[in-house]
Structure 1
């Protein structure tokens, strides 16, 4: 077992939703330490999203820059454990696994641990910890927009909040995802003889796009690159309906006229896409806000659809969690720390190593290229 045993029955002390930390409570920096392996909860004896194999790991979500193979014991949501196992194989996603649901609490060596939805992908969670009256929350990656495939972000008041900063510049203000899907469908209607191939990450983004297309009324089959098939099947087995899906590689070119194909970003511009019918190349990513990036990638239809919080949402989250101190990791720390200081919030750059951006298709190599 993970050695996370027992349920915690007491209620935390709050006033009007704000966390009250006793004067004698230790500051989180005294017990939550940055190490070469990642953030380490010293009294609890566990790491959060460690970058190398450790004895005990708490994992926020299944993307490869947060979920690494080889840990002895892994604690996460049931969905994240299933995703890790599907991507890494039996035994590599933790010799022993323990699922913790939202609303459940464990006490580990005096540290109270619970998970709150992060809204990033299916099963993604914020790691909440409280020790001797001091509370810290590690967000992992998160977004604040509605997503039919993932539980929505829930702010947790705390003394220290650890936030990502992927899109922490004022230029990044994401439009409604529904509006971007409408742009895609207008293009499909305008070019009925061409295949629209959309580059998107295999975990989270692909399934979200399928669900958004279904919500917009697209009831035709959606074709998938081979790299996307397994995780879509897993999502469906975990209770996320995606409708009729087909593998693009077995479809005839004539069948793909007017169709929508989802593929890894790395595949939409290479020879794989040549099998499609005069493809319209699209990519769904927050980085499509940067026009030069879209042009350099040969993207004809950039879709600004992100699974990360944008600039306004990062600042709104800082207000919602009511933390006097926010630690910033893997992104544009300087701009966010400056903006936080103007709001009376102390910011600190963690400089954690090994954190990337899954929207860059960082682990497409894990999937088959079919």
Structure 2
């Protein structure tokens, strides 16, 4: 085994010294393995990117002209004697965990992950390891997700009820991940599905590898009459802007894990909140940690102190925290390019 930890945390990101490669670095580096396309994990400026091949068009759309190599699930690639492989994280489409093996020692970095199969992202794959680096965005017992099927029944019923009142339904979700999950599971038999430009552009990138319902891009020519009774999927950044005024009368909703707390809905001036997250809940986090067989756990972002203390005191694990620049759901906001897209 190496004399020092296989993966270390420095000012640039998560670093493997033996391979001279970073994982989800937040400052420019020569070579970086990218878990998924959200802005806090996929930064601009690296000389070489390595990621799952379905994530290649996503990060090219967001980052522009980059040098990137795509890998298959489970494909082993060796760098200076260190074995790496990517495995589904279930977080969003093409999201990966990174398995790192060197001289008999195995580490796994989850990036962000979700244990519930949402029917669109490649389902989470459990990987046995010695050390497990995990997010804990929702690492509190208060976070316990309702099964997705029930959540989408509630969303579809909400839309249908608004339609009977001849109102436009506007639901907010991040342009990469949550928006496509909504598109996959809302019921097109109720009405037409309209999208904000940033969401439509990202969805078009993904259609090559994933299947979604038909959508209609909202443009300057789209009229209020066309929207009435139908549903609009928009990024959170569109709420409160001039873009939304053409849709009166409308009813708003947000799909987020933070909707667990009623105060979050009030602060965002949202009419309805649906608890729908692309991250593991408390039970999912604990069950995953236990199933990996890891004796060492590092919590990187979220409720790190509370979660790691629980692992130490209640599960007897060697658990600690590390500071990173990953932001959980806040890091899932639109990229600069998408913010500039016109509706």
Larger mean Cα displacement after TM superposition, 220-229 or 57-66: 220-229
2:214 matched to which residue of 1? 244
Q: Is the 8 A contact 1:63 1:358 kept in 2?
A: no
1:71 alignment partner, one of 46, 52, 74: 46
Measure, in 2, the Cα distance between the counterparts of 1:111 and 1:81.
23
Residue 315 of structure 2 aligns to a residue whose secondary structure is coil
Count of aligned pairs = 337
Measure, in 1, the Cα distance between the counterparts of 2:11 and 2:211.
40
Cα deviation, residue 360, structure 1: 6.4
Q: Is the 8 A contact 2:39 2:331 kept in 1?
A: no
1:48 alignment partner, one of 8, 23, 27: 23
Measure, in 2, the Cα distance between the counterparts of 1:236 and 1:226.
15
1:347 alignment partner, one of 313, 316, 319: 319
Measure, in 1, the Cα distance between the counterparts of 2:239 and 2:335.
12
2:63 alignment partner, one of 79, 85, 88: 88
What is the CA deviation profile of residues 47-95 of structure 1, one whole-angstrom value per residue up to 9, with x for unaligned ones?
A: 000001110100000101000111111111011121000111123xxxx
Cα deviation, residue 300, structure 1: 0.7
Measure, in 1, the Cα distance between the counterparts of 2:333 and 2:277.
15
Q: Is the 8 A contact 1:136 1:159 kept in 2?
A: yes
1:136 matched to which residue of 2? 107
1:228 matched to which residue of 2? 199
Q: Is the 8 A contact 1:111 1:131 kept in 2?
A: yes
1:121 matched to which residue of 2? 92
What is the CA deviation profile of residues 219-257 of structure 1, one whole-angstrom value per residue up to 9, with x for unaligned ones?
A: 74310011111111011112x111211012343211111
Residue 241 of structure 1 aligns to a residue whose secondary structure is coil
Q: Does 1:59 align with 2:34?
A: yes
Q: Is the 8 A contact 2:109 2:134 kept in 1?
A: yes
2:289 matched to which residue of 1? 318
Q: Is the 8 A contact 2:84 2:100 kept in 1?
A: yes
RMSD: 1.6
1:274 matched to which residue of 2? 245
2:156 matched to which residue of 1? 185
Please, what TM-score do these two structures have when normalized by structure 1?
A: 0.87
Measure, in 2, the Cα distance between the counterparts of 1:185 and 1:219.
8
Larger mean Cα displacement after TM superposition, 260-269 or 316-325: 260-269
Cα deviation, residue 130, structure 1: 0.5
Q: Is the 8 A contact 1:39 1:48 kept in 2?
A: yes
Residue 207 of structure 2 aligns to a residue whose secondary structure is helix
Cα deviation, residue 180, structure 1: 1.9
Please, what TM-score do these two structures have when normalized by structure 2?
A: 0.94
2:229 alignment partner, one of 258, 262, 266: 258
Q: Does 1:205 align with 2:178?
A: yes
Cα deviation, residue 42, structure 1: 0.6
Cα deviation, residue 30, structure 1: 2.3
Q: Is the 8 A contact 2:235 2:334 kept in 1?
A: no
Residue 155 of structure 2 aligns to a residue whose secondary structure is helix
Cα deviation, residue 175, structure 1: 1.2
1:13 matched to which residue of 2? none
Q: Gaps spanning 5+ residues in structure 1: where?
A: 1-24
2:309 matched to which residue of 1? 338
Q: Is the 8 A contact 2:40 2:332 kept in 1?
A: no
Cα deviation, residue 271, structure 1: 2.6
Q: Structure 1 residues 48, 364: CA separation in 2 closer, same or farther (over 3 Å shift)? A: closer
2:137 matched to which residue of 1? 166
Q: Gaps spanning 5+ residues in structure 2: where?
A: none
